[in-house]
Amino acid sequence: MINDNPHHNFAAGNLKQMRIKVIIRYIGLALIMVALMMAVSALVAIINGYDDSATPLLTSALVTFVTGYYPMIFVSPERYIKPKEGIVIVVLAWFVCCIFGMIPYICYGGEFSFIDAFFESVSGFTTTGASILDDIESVPAGLLFWRVSTSWVGGLGIVSFFSLVIPRSMDTRSVLSNAELSDIARSQSSKSGKAFVKTILSVYVILTATCAILLRISGQGWFDAVTNAMSTCSTCGFCVKNASIAAYNSVAAELIIIFFMTTCGISFMLLSTIATGKKTARRRISTTTAVFLISLIAATAIVSMNLHNDGQMSWLEAIRQAAFQVSSISTTTGFATADTNLWPALIIIILTVASIICGCSGSTSGGIKMDRIVLIFSYIRNGFRTVANPHRVLGTRLSGHIVSERDATEAMKFVLIYVSLIIVGAVVNISFGLDVKTGVTAAIACIGNVGPGFGSVGSMGNFADFPAVLKFTNSLLMLAGRLEIFPILSFIGLSAERN
């Protein structure tokens, strides 16, 4: 059962009542984690012959670490923080980490202007996978590893990662984890915040390591295998090749990536439960997961038939291309093996719908989430049943759990706000000169953390030619989608109360 969520309680308090020093301390902790990531990326650059990104990464790591460590000197750790403080920490930590994540790109230069560095940083941390790079293969290995590292940490969640280092005796860890995780994701487990994060992190690491080993066996070098595995399991889609996964032209690699993209679009808690070997878990697949997998199979079948009937390719090639692209878009990974702009209109519609709904809650996938769609349909179905029999009491269920009417209402609110943001984003995009196909699908791709859309931002395109203002507004859409909207609305509500 979903507990009361501070995300939705805009009157819970205001910023005047919060301990600013405490908030800054925990944002500093997030920056220290980012600095460590930069240091690891610098090590990759050094191992790669001290490439051109080594110095920018080392400099960035030092600046970020000092900035993050400074508050630790003057502010003592708190055993407990208020839920509203947790919301502020989560929202500001994401924004601040994205800003500091720009530094390696800016120091390196190349194709990165200030706004391009911001866009690439946000795209990485939010696991969107949209890019401004025209020539990815010219970028040094260290910077490419940094780019993928941001997506791997963002896949689980910036705050969830650093909450693991908070001592067990402190209640702070649970407040921070709960503030970052969505209602539906938390409702899948009775575990506490830190136990929940440890469980999904264990699954995450095992999946990533297994994927990397299998990609290495398939013929990729270790650097490509590791970075592609990190990008696959975070469902980001950043690749170290200009042509994405198409560059490898490997059926084995594509099958491996399809499997792991799909797996990482499923709730990690469900995967953990199945892996424990419990008999009941082995017999049960959640309704949401079943609907998600059936949708993938159905979409793949329809796309395959259209590709074959359109005369573009043989049956085997059609199935190969359809399976990869449907899995990639539906899980919001965004890898590509073909230029989907050239595909028939029906396929474009199917892939666009898939990029709106996407995977399951508790996974690294973005979008509305299949859980909310199943919940809303179940609620509407029960509404029709009670019209025919007003005295009949029906409970709305989600994967075997009864959820309240309030939970269903919150899901509908989320979808309404989500669609409204797509419309606003599309209008802004078109107002600044984008064609309708590009403007609409770019907004969908950004808020859904999908990456590619259609038109100039198709599977073989990018956001390089967007005006600076659109790179900024679409970056905000990415953040809104990754934080699942409500924490940002709560933060805005708290800020408004202060004024």
- Hey, how many other C-beta atoms are within 10 angstroms of the C-beta on 395? 11
| pLDDT number for residue 186 | 56
On the question of pLDDT at 160 being above 90, the answer is no
Residue 40 lies in a domain: yes
Q: Please report, as a single letter, which amino acid is at residue 305.
A: M
What's the mean pLDDT in 173-188?
60
* Summary mean pLDDT of the chain: 86
What's the mean pLDDT in 456-467?
94
**How many domains are contained in the chain?**
1
Least confident of 250-264, 279-293, 414-428, 455-469: 279-293
Each residue's pLDDT tens digit, 372-423:
998 888 888 776 666 656 555 455 555 556 666 777 888 899 999 999 999 9
On the question of pLDDT at 191 being above 60, the answer is no
Q: End-to-end CA distance of the chain, in Å?
A: 35
| pLDDT number for residue 4 | 36
Residue 306 lies in a domain: no
Cβ atoms 24, 67 nearer than 8 A:
no
What's the mean pLDDT in 105-129?
95
Least confident of 26-35, 68-77, 219-228: 68-77
**Helices 251-263 and 315-330 sit at what angle, rounded to 10 degrees?**
30
More confident residue, 169 or 477: 477
What's the mean pLDDT in 178-192?
59
Residue 149 lies in a domain: yes
Q: pTM, whole model, 2 decimals?
A: 0.90
**Helices 172-180 and 193-217 sit at what angle, rounded to 10 degrees?**
60
Residue 403 lies in a domain: no
| pLDDT number for residue 10 | 38
pLDDT range class, residue 3, cuts 50, 70, 90: very low
pLDDT range class, residue 368, cuts 50, 70, 90: very high
Distances in whole angstroms, Cα of residue 143 to Cα of each of 35, 43, 103, 215, 417? 14, 11, 11, 21, 36
Cβ atoms 145, 57 nearer than 8 A:
no
| pLDDT number for residue 354 | 95
On the question of pLDDT at 15 being above 60, the answer is no
Residue 418 lies in a domain: no
Residue 72 lies in a domain: yes
Residue 73 lies in a domain: yes
pLDDT range class, residue 346, cuts 50, 70, 90: very high
Q: Dihedral of CA 421/132/322/213: which sign?
A: negative
| pLDDT number for residue 6 | 39
3-class SS shares of the chain: helix, strand, coil, % to 5? 70, 0, 30
What's the mean pLDDT in 432-457?
96
More confident residue, 89 or 146: 146
On the question of pLDDT at 328 being above 60, the answer is yes
Each residue's pLDDT tens digit, 50-63:
999 999 999 999 99
Residue 189 lies in a domain: no
Count CA within 13 A, CB hemisphere, residue 414.
32
pLDDT range class, residue 85, cuts 50, 70, 90: confident
| pLDDT number for residue 71 | 86
Domain extent, residue 487, equals 1-180+469-499
